[in-house]
Amino acid sequence: MCDARVHQCKYERVYAEMSSSKGVLGKDLLGFGNGSRLQPHPLLFGCETAETGDLYLQHADGIMGLGRGPLSIVDQLVGTGAMEDSFSLCYGGMDEGGGSMVLGAIPPPPAMVFAKSDPNRSNYYNLELSEIQVQGVSLNVPSEVFNGRLGTVLDSGTTYAYLPDKAFDAFKDAITQQLGSLQAVPGPDPSYPDVCFAGAGSDSKALGKHFPPVDFVFSGNQKVFLAPENYLFKHTKVPGAYCLGFFKNQDATTLLGGIVVRNTLVTYDRANHQIGFFKTNCTNLWSILPAEPPLAPPPPPVNESSPIESPASLPEDKQDFGSIELLIELDGNFTTILNQTLLFKSSMASELAISSSQISIEDIKEDGEHVVVRCIISPASSQLFSSSAAKALAARLEDHTVKLPEIFGAYRLRSWKGLPPSKWAWIHSDRAKMGAMIAILVGVVVLLAVIASLVYWYFFKYRNRGQIKYENLEVAETNEEETWIGDEQL
């Protein structure tokens, strides 16, 4: 959300493992180090002020947004022509850690497996996962399970993997049946029902002797191999014990986090709507890549004495809206929704961090099996909505980061649009400025009144100063003849 009064935008992001990051947006020249052939570019980025969960506990000092959207580093660089619409990540293994990132296109290794990624499904990197195999045997799970809500999403910013309930139960059972003499042990954190096993030894490279291989099968029968390090993490309290890095998702979406792609070169070929997977040792990545990557074109010249212009890929943010109209599709019961408009407003307001008085429900109607709510969101009395603030609000609804009570059912943002300010909107948007102007005018009037009073006092109080005062001659002579001696007058 953006505050027009202080010309500042805030961001907040919560990840599946409930870690979070929040702060403000800034803009500056961003460099990529001496080892990069990519020149510094003027980019928008987040300045973090707080973080929680794994983001706080891990050694990294921040997180980089590589998803789709105008604020993504990738979209900004592609929009300026600095790089091709592709990038690659290679996360280190369970013991090595580290990793590499390549911005721009690279020649794919011949054995790289590509899976389709539909950019129209969501702003995330979607995949068409059809089945999971353990030890070569497919789980007894329909492919539709992996297509619920947002489908299957590859999210490099999430640590672990999260499956729908049915898929997780089948996966856990299939793994457990292959473990032989390994013993189940409690997880490192009593508050979490981790699935852990002891007796595998401390050498993570030998995990294949104790744990089965796993394959993800994507559309077109494209198969990606997962070693044990791609679905396990080390137990922090029991030596030689390991825990499943796959968990139940509280959602129908299948979310694949960074654990799935350890020691895997992943190429996000956005230009061709596909994602490539190549199992490798990421510590030796540069031995399989070209020694001289293509030179990116230099950025446009920047005049340091003038403001930095926004990258070409970013929409112009000069338009202000007086309000935002939302069409929200709900799966709940029409009568229930009609009777719970106050709850709907208060829930929306709480999730969007605004006042419920800023939300006006204009219409509720049935549309087939769905209920469509048309509502208007107005800014605070002294503000307008900037274009970026309106898009950020809509994105939260599109990404379902706004949570509504279960009685409303699942929801979908059908459409949104910014409405122009009313003819009196300038009064509200410039209220603070008008107040200052009125105060100045009052001060000027008071000052003029004081000056006028002083002038009046000067001319009418002292107008006779310097003139000779004459006395009546007869009175003067009489006074001269009167002489006093003691108490008697002569």
Q: What percentage of the chain exceeds 70 in pLDDT?
A: 82
Residue 313's pLDDT is 31
Residue 460 placed within a domain: no
* Domain co-membership, 283 together with 373: no
Query: Which range has highest mean pLDDT (79-88, 305-314, 346-355)?
Result: 79-88
Environment class of 92 (CB within 10 Å of its CB; exposed 0-12, middle 13-18, buried 19+): middle
Residue 235's pLDDT is 95
- Region 3-8: mean pLDDT is 78
Packing angle between helix 387-398 and helix 341-352, nearest 10 degrees?
120
* Domain co-membership, 366 together with 420: yes
* Domain co-membership, 97 together with 228: yes
Residue-averaged pLDDT of the chain: 82
Environment class of 363 (CB within 10 Å of its CB; exposed 0-12, middle 13-18, buried 19+): exposed
Residue 448 placed within a domain: no
- Residue 220 belongs to domain with CATH number: 2.40.70.10
* Domain co-membership, 344 together with 383: yes
* Predicted confidence (pLDDT) per residue in 468-479, tens digit: 444 444 444 444
Residue 486 placed within a domain: no
* Domain co-membership, 203 together with 118: yes
Last residue of a domain, one of 404, 428, 452: 428
Lowest mean pLDDT among 128-137, 219-228, 364-373, 395-404: 395-404
Give the residue carrying structure tokens 């297509």.
147
Give the residue carrying structure tokens 């990404």.
399
* Domain co-membership, 160 together with 198: yes
* Domain co-membership, 256 together with 359: no
Residue 308 placed within a domain: no
* Domain co-membership, 112 together with 58: no
Determine the structural domain holding residue 399 and report its residue range: 320-428
* Domain co-membership, 124 together with 254: yes
- Residue 331 belongs to domain with CATH number: 3.30.70
Higher pLDDT, 344 or 3: 344
* Domain co-membership, 43 together with 139: no
Task: State which amino acid sits at residue 244.
Answer: L
Residue 381's pLDDT is 58
Residue 125 placed within a domain: yes
Residue 348 placed within a domain: yes
Residue 292 placed within a domain: no
* Domain co-membership, 107 together with 238: yes
Counting the structural domains of the chain, the total is 3
* Domain co-membership, 398 together with 269: no
- Give me 104's structure tokens: 């721009």
**In b/e form, how buried is each residue of 221-257, taking b as 16+ CB within 10 angstroms?**
ebebebbbbbbbbbbeebebbbbbbbbebeebbbbbb
Residue 336 placed within a domain: yes
Cα dihedral value 436, 438, 443, 445, nearest 10? 160
Please give the C-alpha separations between residue 100 and each of 36, 84, 93, 103, 289, in angstroms, as whole numbers: 12, 18, 12, 10, 12
Q: 0.75 cut: is pTM over it?
A: no
- Region 171-189: mean pLDDT is 94
Last residue of a domain, one of 32, 63, 94: 63
Query: Which range has highest mean pLDDT (309-318, 452-461, 480-489)?
Result: 452-461
